[in-house]
């Protein structure tokens, strides 16, 4: 079985690195992949030649990442300790990207729900293809949105809009996502990476020391609060995921996904 690091491809690109997520079929973020992504960012931060990172999907199909691998939080398939481990790894990775001194851009190809949306919110800038969709759809599939995730969204779009997104569970079309500030730019699919490169060059035009220090000043306080809150929430995650209502909702979702994948395999 391939290691999770095999599902990441990192390439030197301009003054930045392009990190591609390549875990078929939908870039589901497993425990190992969260850890591998966090470790990759840590290594890049230690490289004096790297100033920024573009995170993109390496899949052919139009999916950035479908977010957390549901099998890892579906109570009948896991344990309380394993759920805690996944929760802390996800938060640790997102927090690392959020607070990184590197300039970070999410190049969003296609669909970007739930944990995928959260991954982009941890980045400095988000660019989405005009045929994509993005949103915090956790409540729509029967999962309460944790406070840490709502707080991250509020940092980007404001508290009122974050509340609306969280409570509706809506997936937004690119134009609406741009209007509410969930993304910064909408481009044709064929121009996604060119747009991400151009945005990265603009971000790197300012002196590195002043950009990185300003980012640290703006984000270090929330990053510390996030770490404490994530640890406090970790104990409650199992109770939420193992509740009869969430187990039923996730079970139904996993069955739909299984049927969908089986149907594609017969085509």
| Predicted local confidence at residue 6, as pLDDT | 64
Residue 266's pLDDT band (boundaries 50, 70, 90)?
very low
The residue-averaged pLDDT of 250-256 equals: 92
| Predicted local confidence at residue 4, as pLDDT | 62
70-129: pLDDT as tens digits: 999 999 999 999 999 999 999 999 999 999 999 999 999 999 999 999 999 999 999 999
b/e map of 129-161 (b: 16 or more CB within 10 Å)? beebbbbbbbbbbbbbbbebbbebbbbbbeeeb
Rg (the chain; Cα; Å): 18
Residue of 110 and 4 predicted with greater confidence: 110
pTM, to two decimals = 0.92
| Predicted local confidence at residue 49, as pLDDT | 87
Residue 5 confidence (pLDDT) above 70: no
Axis-axis angle for helices 80-99, 208-241 (nearest 10) = 160
Does residue 229 contact residue 148 with C-beta atoms inside 8 Å? yes
Strand boundaries in the chain, DSSP class E? 8-13, 16-21, 28-29, 52-57, 67-68, 103-108, 111-113, 125-129, 133-135, 185-187
| Predicted local confidence at residue 19, as pLDDT | 78
| Predicted local confidence at residue 258, as pLDDT | 82
How many whole angstroms separate alpha carbon 18 and alpha carbon 192?
13
Strand boundaries in 109-163, DSSP class E? 111-113, 125-129, 133-135
Residue 184 confidence (pLDDT) above 90: yes
H or E stretch covering 240: helix 208-241
20-43: pLDDT as tens digits: 888 889 999 999 999 999 999 999
For the chain, domains (ranges, CATH) are 4-203 (3.90.226.10)
The residue-averaged pLDDT of 221-238 equals: 93
Among residues 6, 119, 19, which one has the least CA distance to residue 67? 119
Residue 267 confidence (pLDDT) above 60: no
């Amino acid at each position: 079985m391939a290691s999770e690091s095999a599902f990441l491809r990192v390439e030197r690109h301009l003054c930045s690195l392009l990190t591609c997520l390549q875990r078929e079929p939908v870039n589901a973020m497993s425990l190992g992949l969260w850890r591998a992504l966090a470790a990759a960012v840590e290594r890049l931060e230690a490289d004096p030649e790297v100033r920024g990172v573009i995170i993109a999907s390496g899949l052919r199909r139009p999916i950035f990442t479908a977010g957390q691998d549901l099998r890892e939080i579906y109570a009948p398939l896991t344990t309380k300790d394993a759920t805690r481990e996944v929760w802390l790894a996800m938060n640790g990775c997102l927090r690392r990207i959020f607070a990184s001194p590197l300039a970070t851009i999410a190049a969003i190809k296609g669909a970007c729900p739930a944990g995928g949306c959260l991954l982009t919110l941890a980045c400095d800038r988000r660019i989405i293809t005009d045929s994509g969709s993005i949103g915090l759809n956790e409540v729509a599939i029967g999962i309460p949105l944790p406070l840490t995730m709502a707080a991250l969204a509020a940092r980007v779009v404001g508290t009122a809009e974050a509340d609306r997104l969280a409570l509706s569970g809506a997936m937004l079309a690119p134009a609406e996502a741009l209007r509410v500030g969930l993304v910064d730019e909408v481009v044709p699919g064929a121009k996604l990476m060119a747009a991400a490169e151009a945005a990265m060059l603009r971000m790197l035009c300012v002196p590195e020391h002043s950009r990185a220090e300003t980012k640290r000043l703006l984000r270090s306080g929330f990053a510390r609060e996030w770490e404490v809150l994530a640890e406090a929430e970790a104990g409650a995650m199992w109770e939420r995921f193992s509740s009869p209502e969430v187990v039923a909702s996730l079970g139904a979702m996993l069955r739909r996904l299984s049927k969908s994948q089986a149907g594609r395999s017969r085509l």
